[in-house]
Amino acid sequence: MPWVVGVSGASGTPYAAAVLRGLLAAGESVDLVVSRASRLTLLDETRIAFRDAHWQEDLREWLARGADGKPGTFDVDVAAVRHWAAGDLAAGPSSGSYPVKGMLVVPASTACVAGVALGLSKDLLQRAASVTLKERRPLVMAVRETPLNGQTLRHLVALDEAGAVVLPASPAFYAGATHIQDLVDFVAGRVLDAAGVRHGLYRRWKGELGGGSAPGPGPGSEPEPGESRD
């Protein structure tokens, strides 16, 4: 069964790319939903136009880029990805009878958070997330916004109470980050942790102060699933 990955319009398309690479490296299959707003963000952050008619070519180019925008940083096979148009409310993930493991929304904009919390289902991304909740499947919302107002905080509490994992896109520094890709991979790794997917995207805390100062692999040398970065 695949994981549904929804990409909404918040800034943070490198987070989505890192999560997708991590899922594929772990041998998972992916059902991908890229919202209309996120295509504008992707174009702004990477200069890549994500087109329904050429989605494999555009996805391959996107996932090959590092967080610093350098093309050709990663070599990714997208054969295990199935793309659904954001406006296709008859798509597989819109139904609870369509078998999936769960859904990861990365990044999750405040508009997306509100839509899912209120059950609006205005597009396939929101509908798939609502279905994930009603079917009691894992839903991870990697919210990417700051500061947060009271209304959004109430929506996040509602999602938590409904069973979703609210995961702010908040990188940590104890893992010894030396490159922007390390910070992105930390957030992506925490998303995969919440989903129970094995990965080696960041160095885990082992209870030793200064453990993150040891040199690790640079961007483009992604470990195998389950392999530690130390």
**For 12-54, what is each residue's pLDDT tens digit?**
999 999 999 999 999 999 999 999 999 999 999 999 999 999 9
pLDDT at 218 over 90: no
Cis-peptide, bond into residue 99, ω within 30° of zero: no
Q: What is the mean pLDDT of the chain?
A: 93
Q: What's the pLDDT at 208?
A: 85
The tokens 């107002």 sit on which residue? 149
Q: What's the pLDDT at 206?
A: 87
The pTM is what? Answer: 0.91
Three-state secondary structure call for residue 41? helix
Residue type, 130: S
| Average pLDDT value for residue range 99-117 | 98
Structure tokens that stand for 51 in this block: 């087109």
Structure tokens that stand for 176 in this block: 């010894």
pLDDT at 221 over 90: no
pLDDT at 224 over 80: no
**Strands ordered across the beta sheet of 30-34:** 81-85, 30-34, 3-7, 102-108, 139-143, 165-166
Q: Are 41 and 16 in contact (CB under 8 A)?
A: no
| Average pLDDT value for residue range 117-122 | 96
Which range among 33-42, 47-56, 184-193, 203-212 shows the weakest confidence by mean pLDDT?
A: 203-212
What does the alpha-carbon distance between residue 71 and residue 213 come to, in Å, rounded to a whole number? 28
CB proximity list for 121: less than 8 A, separation 6 or greater = 89, 115, 127, 130
Over residues 32-43, the pLDDT tens digits come to 999 999 999 999
What residues form DSSP beta bridges with 6?
Answer: 33, 105
pLDDT band at 109 (very low <50, low <70, confident <90, very high): very high
Over residues 85-107, the pLDDT tens digits come to 999 999 999 999 999 999 999 99
pLDDT band at 216 (very low <50, low <70, confident <90, very high): low
Q: Are 143 and 166 in contact (CB under 8 A)?
A: yes
Residue type, 18: A
| Average pLDDT value for residue range 185-191 | 98
